[in-house]
Each structure stands twice: as C-alpha cells, then as structure tokens.
Structure 1
Amino acid sequence: MIAIGGTIGTGLFLGTGKSLAEGGPASMLLCYGIVGGIVYVTLLLLGEMATQYPVAGSFNAYATRFFSPGYGFALSWNYWFNDAVSVASDLTAAQLVLQFWTTWHPWVISLVFWVFLVCINGAHVRAYGELEYWLSFLKVFTIVLFIILGILVNVGVNREHEYIGGRYWHIEGAPFVGGFGGFARVFVTASFAFGGTESLGITAGETKNPSRNMPRVVKFVFWRILLFYILSIALIGLNIPWNYPGLSTRSTTTSPFTLVFKEVGSNVAGSFMNTVILTSVLSAGNHALFAGTRVLYGLSTSSPRQAPHIFSMTTPGGVPLAALIATSSVSVLCFGSSFIGSGVLWGWLQNIVGVSNQIAWLSIGLASWRFRKAWVLQGRSIEEMKFRAGWTWPWGPPFVVISVATLILVQGWSSVIPHFSAVDFVSFYIEIPAMVVMYVGWVVMRRPPKPTGQVGEQRPLLHVGCVGTRSRVRWHDLVDVQNLDLKRDEYEEVDVDRIDDAKRQKRLEGSAGWLWRLYYLVA
C-alpha cells in the first residue's frame, strides 16, 4: 500500500492540470507513459538491491557503497532536501485545493496539516503505516471510481448530454500545446507525479520479511502505473480541454479529476473528489516527511558519518525525533504562497522536486550498474540473489542512466527558448550545481582515513601512490568493485520470516486458496 501511497498524490491529482495546460493531451499522455516506463525499470533495479541489502537510507546508501562516497553524500543531502520541499509542496497544494470552497486564509489549513503530520510521525512507525494504508485505500477506490465516471462522461453522461470522444484533441492548439517546449516541460511534472516510488527502498529497513515483500511490491508497480496513471491521464485528455478556464494560473490550479466529477452533473460529486484530493495531499505529505526523516537518520548513522550525530538519536519507540524536527522545519516555505501566489510557488516547488526525483532515479541506475558489475567480477552466481529482474540484464542500468540524464537536460527547454526565464531556469537546474558544490565540499573537508587493509576499504579521493619513480593521483573516489565486500549487510531470513512464509503457503493451499490469491493480488 505504501507503493501506491507513494505514487498517487498531488502530482497526479493537481499536476495533471498544469501538464494539460502547458503541453496538451498528447504531450501529457506520451510524457507520463515514457516516465512511467523508466520508473518501472528503475524500481526493478532498486528492488534487487533493497531485497539483498534492506538497510536504512536505501538508494542513498547504495550510491555511497557501490558507486562513490562523495556522490552518495551529495545525493543523500539532495534527496533529504527533496523530501523536505515535498512536504512544503504538499502543504501549498492544500491551499490550492481549499480554494475550491473558500479563499479565506488558506494558510490555516497548511498549518493544521503540518501540526498533524509532525504528531503522526512523532509517534511509533505503526501510526505512519496505519494512516498511509487507509488513505491509500481511499485513493485507490477513488481512482477506480474516476475511471468508470470518466468513461461515462466521455460517451455522453455529462451536463450537456453529448458524446465527447476525441473532440478536445482537435481544438485549436491541441493535441501538442506549445510545440517541443511544451512537450519537454511536461516531463518534470510527470517526474513530480511519479516521485516517491523510489522511497519504497527506504521502507525496506522497517519492513516485515523484506525478502518476500520487496520483490512483490516492485513487480506489481507496472500494473499500478498502467491502471492509475496511464488510463487516468488518457481520460483527462479526452474529457477536459487544455484551455479550460482556471486550469493552471499564477494563483490557482484546478484538478482535472474534480472537473470530471462535476461533469457528471453534480457539485456534490465535485466536492467529494476535492475532499479525496485533500486527503491525498495529507497522505503525500505524510509519506515525504517519513522518508525525509529516515534519510537524515541514515546520513547520521552511515560510515563515514555524513550528518551530525544528534540526528541519530531516537525515542524509546524508535522514532528519530531530531531528524523529524529538522525535516519538518523546511515546510515553512509553504507560507511564502501568501506573497507570490499559491499557483506560482507550487509550480516552482514542483520543478525542484521533479528534478530531484530524476536525480534519484539516475543514481539508482548508477548504483545498480556498479552493484551488478561487482557481483559478476567477484564470481558470485546470479542465482544467489534473493530477487533478480532477469529481463533487465544487462541493459537496465545504462538505459535508466541515459534516459533520465536526457530528461534532465531537455525538460528546461521552454525556460530558454523562445524567451529566457531566469526563475524557471533556476527551478529546473539549480540542483545540478548544488550537488557539484556538495561533492567538492565532501572532497575538501573529509580527511582521508588511515589505510587498514580491510576488504572493501574506500581509498581517499586524492590518493597519491608511488610506482617506481612515477606518482599516481586519483581524482575520483569511485568504489573498487573488485574488492567490495558484498557479504556485509546481506539479509538473512529469521524464524519470523519462515513462519510468515509457511503461514502464507498454508493459506494458498487451503480450500479458500483462490480468495487468498485474490487478496494478495489486490493488497
């Protein structure tokens, strides 16, 4: 359910309005389809590593361990900032959603949500999981209902009692709005919408029986993407024109989902959909705050440590309280919407988070590339892997790296051509130089440890060695995959896991086995 909760949120419910207005129905469908395919392959690669090594920090830890400690440091802090900004983005989205009913002090709902989310995440992790489960269930139910209503609206069950079909694909400006610039711009909003899927790996360290549950989750992500994203996007493009008034402006952003529900002919239906969107904002913020807190905790407990020790301190219930406070504090950005407009601020935050998501996917590809190389070079059989996406060998990692790098470079096209927009350009590309600065800062500030001769030891970045009378300088800190310790942190099944597996198998073999198969398929 966390897999669903991490993907269905403000990006889908609200971001599709911005995507439709800026790129048109065809651009939106193509971009979401392309990004969905990339995300699916990325999650399969992450699933391999997370099942083998379910550690705190997830792909940030994998980038440090398998690719480069300096890059892992920059990535981890970038992703923590991404989660913190995501909370701010979701609180800003709450203001936009509330404008459906009233414009009275929209920041109040953000403050109330912020306090609620901090309290939930300050309790035991079970409170987070329970809230996320039921909010996710509500969103799944609503998406299924939306698909049914979307089909009915298109064939004539609407206010005008007219068959719509593909009419809005042929109005002026459609189906590709804004040319290539509009098409490229949709990639970042699509990346924002799919953001959070990579957080599945972060939950691996606190998941029961990860050897079974992690592979099961990533395998079904494909069908969730196909059903909840592609089908929904197609129906939005068919039922809502790209130039619908108020769809995406400086001060407002209207959800296409709400508009489709209103088209059924009932304002009550529109209010119901808007209420669900408000709960999805709460769910997305809950998910981002949880993930950001765990990333900061992982930074403070990594070796070498990449964050102050105070962030590793936990409550008796195991909650990293200092990391929670630090992550939630960034959310005060949401109150800036009172001065520049909620729509504008949310658009900027959406760009920043979308690019950060892409950097995370790129990093998963890099870590997987080196992990697989180490596994093969050290002579370990691929049959030893607890989970292996066989059909992605060997092209999976390079595909993810190249495709995501291309998205990052081209999506800011509209901020440069035909007119340069400094603010938009910064929101698209600020994180790239920020990561470079953090990487260099790690290099300059970190003192190389004394060599111990242990297997898998990291060499210092500026390593000078003598071979005869010639000196050798290493200007990088890429991990030596031939000497990497692949046994460390490997998950070993415990008695609880074996009991859980036996219980599941007994259910499947019983007289109600087909019902249990249906349950496991859905839940």
Structure 2
Amino acid sequence: MEVDAEKNAPAYAAHSADHALVVAEDKLRRSLSPRQVQMIAIGGTIGTGLFLGTGKALATGGPASLLICYAIVGAIVFVTMLCLGEMAAFVPVAGSFCTFSARYVDDAWGFALTWNYWFNDAVSTAADLVALQLILQYWTDTFPWYALGLIIWFLLILANIINVRAYGEVEYWLCLLKVVTIVIFIVLSIAVNVGGNTTHEYIGGRNWRIDGAPFVGGIGGFASVFVTASFAYGGTESIAITAGETRDPARQLPRVVRNVFWRILFFYILSALMIGLNVPYNYPGLNSKETSTSPFTIAFQMAGSKVAGSFVNAVILTSVISAGNHALFAGSRLLYTLSVNGHAPKVFGRLTRFQVPWVSVLFTSLISGLLFGASFIGAGQLWTWLQNLVGVSNQLSWISIGVASLRFRAGLRAQGKEHLLPFKNWTYPAGPIISIVLNVFIVLVQGWSCFSPRFSAVDFVSYYVELPAFALMFVVWKLVKKTKFRRASEMDLVTDVYTKDDMEPEEGGWSGKAKRIGGWLCF
C-alpha cells in the first residue's frame, strides 16, 4: 500500500497542526540503494543456517521434522516481517525493532532486547567464521583453516568500516551468487530425485521410508529442529536495521517485506523438501562433532560430479562470508543505537567522515573474534552451541516484534493516527498474537533433547541461558532507571519521521521527487 500524496495531504496537514513534529537525524548516511537493499533482503542472511543447519536438522529430526519445522518457523517469520515492515515504514530508524520495543513497550525492554540482539549478531559472525572451517574440511582436514578464518575476519572489518556503500556493494554480489546457486541446486535436486544420479535410480520418497524416518529422535528430535530453523531464518528481521541508511525507506521497506514470503517458500521450504527427499538422514558427516557436510554439496556429488561438488562448496564459502558480513553490519548499527539512546557508552556513537560507526564496528568484531578463537574445543561442537544461542536470541526478537506491533497499533488507535500508515499489516491483530504464542511455546520445548535420554548440562545452557540473561537485563535497567510501561496515549509517534533531506544523491540526481506536507514525506 503506497502513500498517495493527494489523497492523504489533508490528513498529514491536520496531523502536523495537532502535533509539533520533531524530525530526528539518524546521523548515519542514507547511502544504500534500492538495488542493494532488495538483494540484501533476498539473500543477505542466507548462510550457514540453510547450507549447514539443514544437514544437522535432517540428522537429528528426520526429513518430516525438517520440512514441518522450517514451514512453521517460516510462517512465524513472515508474520513477524509484516509487523516489522508496518512499523519501519512509519518510523525508519537504524535501531529498528529494538528502538520500537523501547518506544512502544518499555525502555527497559528495549535495553534488554538491543543488547541481546547485538550479542546475537556478534555470535552469528563468529558462527560463520567457525563454519568456514567445517566447510573447508570437505577438501582436507590437515590445513590450519583457522588462519584463513582470521583473514576473512579482517576483510569483513574492512568492508564494514570503509563506508556503507562498500558494505552494500560487497553484499549485493555475494547475495546474487548464492541466490543463483540455490536456484541451480533446486533444479539439480529435482533431476537427481527422478533418476539423474550416479546410480540412475528413481529416488522419490524412499528416504522418508528408511528405518527411523520420517521422524527421527521422537519428540526431542522434532523439537530440536525448531532452534536450527530459527538460526537459519535469523537475520531476516535485521533488514529493517538498514532503514537508517536506506534511500527512500518508506517505499523500499514495504517492497522488501512483500518479497519475504517468496523468499521463505522458495529458498527455505523448497530446499528443505528436496534435501529430505534426496539425502538420507543417516548420511555420514551430517551431524558429526568433528565435521559437518552440507546437503547442497551432497546433491551435486549425487549428480556424479566431484568438480561440481567442489564448486558448490566454494559458493557456500562465499555465502558464509556474506552472512557474516551482514551480521557484523547489523551488530555494529545496534551498538551505535545503544550509544545514541544512552544504553551504552557514548564512545560507540563515534562516526568516521563517511558517517560509519567505526568504534562499534571494531568492538563488535572483537567479540566475534574472541568467540571464533574458542574453536580450538572443536569447530563442530562450538558451531552447534553458537547456533543454539543465536536461534533462541532470534526467537526472543520475534516475540518482542510481535509485542511491539500490538502496542504500536494501540498507540496509533489511541492517538487517531492509524490512517497515516504507509503500509499496513493485514494479519493484525491475529497474526502478531499467534506469532507470540507459537514463539513462546517453541522456546520452551525446543530444548527437549537436552533432557532425554540423559541430561546434558552444556546443551541445556546453550538452549536456555538467553532467557535468564534477558530477564536480568530487563529487571536491572528497570530498577536502576525506574522506567515505566508506555501508555498508548503517551507513546512517541512523531519523532524520527523520514524526510528527503536524509537521502544521498544517486548518480545522475535524486532517485525521485518528493514534497513535504505537514512534516511528512509524500510522493
């Protein structure tokens, strides 16, 4: 639903007359082009969760669990993105859903969520660096691959600290490469399934009928796939964090949200279906603590080409780098937001002359580097733990987005501003409510496997440590700052309104014409 300038002009003018509108400056430069934002939205967060996580999920839960859990989490993410897109198009700020939680729920909730998600991004970057070692073991396990991981880590820092255009361009081409690879994988998987494999046999649904399939590990195996799926989808919501550095966010973000449905259906669910059909859950290396084999690579091997297998493994490497690049970008912007909001030391708000939060980039990358250094305990085991931490953190973020969405709408209704929305979540109010309930249920049950057949203290911590940590940050900040729950009639619904003044000129001029009516941008 696009903004109609002529139709909504009276409403915007009346809104301006009733309120003294404050237009906030993000300070971050709006340099990400529509081309970059759309491609980042399509493939920016596709990485280890899809390329490696599906293998682990298949081994622990079986093909049916893989497909069902990825479909359920995909539906949750889609509704979550509709909620987020509605808020981000109205108030496009760098802090995105973390800022919304502080503004529409409670400042203490925003504090806890932002620090939690910043740590999530730092851990995600480390998980991608660790995954590099797992993927590289496809060729040899004698080379010190951690040295290459350190080089990649350094290159990611450079890409994020030069300027946001450098990040956007690197991400654009890496995303394009993995999108093309997934398309080829799906087409090839169909051919392999119907007989285009090394044995020239029709596979069909055979792997769903082998001993132990289609559900593996009982309820514990099924539940454990949820956290793997949450890790795979994680970061989808972070595209809204680019709102603070995106040209024309009021138009671009709704378009991004609409594309999420097709991305989930095609890249995740269809990939999960083909993996479950072609790869048996007991394939060697899918869930080993020493190594992990990508089902994508296996599919190309089944087609009879070792060279093709090496090629797709190399592409997966670039995908992992891309996901790490995006996680570092999002994490540094959240740390910058923490500083601007008074939730972190002011030093993290320092910018370069290109308006890049360089201190935040360096500190976030330092934490990622330290976590990556722990891979001496075993890359496969460490990657599993990091995956669990990130998966639960993602779920807490989705719950928070749903809560913030309900409060946001309550504020708009109380202040008579619902008609000003440039993009509306058509699932409201049922969508956010169902999403919250499902997420809470999944968070509680997904650690089932750490209790049975015997209790695993380390796995228990990786599944549930985020919950008390989040609660502790919320309670401490609330007690120290004496924050109050945001009442609908008192919510700030006028600050950080997007204006054309925040835009960066493209080559050849501005990307479009705009006029401001009552402080609001109309096209």
TM band (smaller chain): 0.7 to 0.9
Aligned twin of 2:226: 187
SS of structure 1 residue aligned to 2:384 = helix
Specify the code of the residue in structure 2 equivalent to 1:394.
P
2:493 matched to 1:486? yes
The CA distance in 1 between the partners of 2:292 and 2:98, in whole Å, is 33
Aligned twin of 2:371: 333
| Residue correspondence of structure 1 range 76-475 to structure 2 within 5 A | 76-103=114-141, 104-302=143-341, 305-331=342-368, 332-338=370-376, 340-380=377-417, 382-389=418-425, 391-446=426-481, 460-461=482-483
2:507 matched to 1:500? no
Normalising by the residue count of structure 1, what TM-score does the alignment of the two structures yield? 0.88
Q: Is the 8 A contact 1:6 1:195 kept in 2?
A: no
Q: Cα–Cα, structure 1 residues 217 and 192, in superposed 2: closer, same or farther, change >3 Å?
A: same
Query: 1:392 deviation in Å?
Result: 0.8
Q: Is the 8 A contact 2:42 2:259 kept in 1?
A: no
Give aligned pairs, total.
470
Query: 1:379 deviation in Å?
Result: 2.0
Q: Is the 8 A contact 1:5 1:287 kept in 2?
A: no
The CA distance in 2 between the partners of 1:164 and 1:157, in whole Å, is 10
Q: Is the 8 A contact 1:191 1:358 kept in 2?
A: yes
The CA distance in 1 between the partners of 2:154 and 2:428, in whole Å, is 46
Specify the code of the residue in structure 1 equivalent to 2:358.
L
The CA distance in 1 between the partners of 2:163 and 2:88, in whole Å, is 23
Normalising by the residue count of structure 2, what TM-score does the alignment of the two structures yield? 0.88
The CA distance in 1 between the partners of 2:93 and 2:320, in whole Å, is 28
Cα deviation 1:392-441 (Å, max 9, x = unaligned): 12212212211111110110111113321111110000011001111122
**Relative contact order higher in (CA < 8 Å, ≥ 6 apart):** 2
Query: 1:366 deviation in Å?
Result: 0.8
Specify the code of the residue in structure 1 equivalent to 2:478.
V
| Residue correspondence of structure 1 range 38-49 to structure 2 within 5 A | 38-49=76-87
SS of structure 2 residue aligned to 1:315 = coil
The CA distance in 1 between the partners of 2:325 and 2:460, in whole Å, is 29
Specify the code of the residue in structure 2 equivalent to 1:441.
V
Specify the code of the residue in structure 2 equivalent to 1:479.
R
Q: Is the 8 A contact 1:6 1:199 kept in 2?
A: no
The CA distance in 2 between the partners of 1:439 and 1:370, in whole Å, is 18
Cα deviation 1:288-347 (Å, max 9, x = unaligned): 000000000000001xx0000000001101111111111001122112222x21110000
2:58 matched to 1:4? no
| Residue correspondence of structure 1 range 507-518 to structure 2 within 5 A | none
Q: Is the 8 A contact 2:186 2:274 kept in 1?
A: yes
The CA distance in 2 between the partners of 1:130 and 1:42, in whole Å, is 27
Range 494-503 or range 73-82, more displaced:
494-503
Query: 1:383 deviation in Å?
Result: 2.7
Q: Is the 8 A contact 2:45 2:326 kept in 1?
A: no
Aligned twin of 1:513: none
SS of structure 1 residue aligned to 2:243 = helix
Cα deviation 1:449-487 (Å, max 9, x = unaligned): xxxxxxxxxxx44xxxxxxxxxxxxxxx21111122312
Percent identity between the aligned chains? 58
The runs of 5 or more residues in structure 2 that have no matched partner are 1-38, 515-523
The CA distance in 2 between the partners of 1:445 and 1:483, in whole Å, is 22
Cα deviation 1:256-293 (Å, max 9, x = unaligned): 00000111101000001100100011001000000000
The CA distance in 1 between the partners of 2:125 and 2:46, in whole Å, is 15
Aligned twin of 1:59: 97
SS of structure 2 residue aligned to 1:149 = helix
The CA distance in 2 between the partners of 1:200 and 1:178, in whole Å, is 35
The runs of 5 or more residues in structure 1 that have no matched partner are 447-459, 462-476, 504-523
The CA distance in 1 between the partners of 2:501 and 2:81, in whole Å, is 25
Specify the code of the residue in structure 2 equivalent to 1:490.
V
The CA distance in 2 between the partners of 1:276 and 1:324, in whole Å, is 26
Specify the code of the residue in structure 1 equivalent to 2:391.
G
Specify the code of the residue in structure 2 equivalent to 1:354.
G
SS of structure 2 residue aligned to 1:482 = helix
The CA distance in 2 between the partners of 1:198 and 1:393, in whole Å, is 18
SS of structure 2 residue aligned to 1:279 = helix
The CA distance in 2 between the partners of 1:43 and 1:72, in whole Å, is 18
Q: Is the 8 A contact 2:230 2:395 kept in 1?
A: yes
Specify the code of the residue in structure 2 equivalent to 1:265.
G
SS of structure 2 residue aligned to 1:420 = coil
The CA distance in 2 between the partners of 1:336 and 1:247, in whole Å, is 22
The CA distance in 1 between the partners of 2:278 and 2:157, in whole Å, is 38
Q: Is the 8 A contact 1:121 1:128 kept in 2?
A: yes
Cα deviation 1:228-266 (Å, max 9, x = unaligned): 111111000000000001111111110000000111101
Aligned twin of 1:471: none
Query: 1:502 deviation in Å?
Result: 6.2
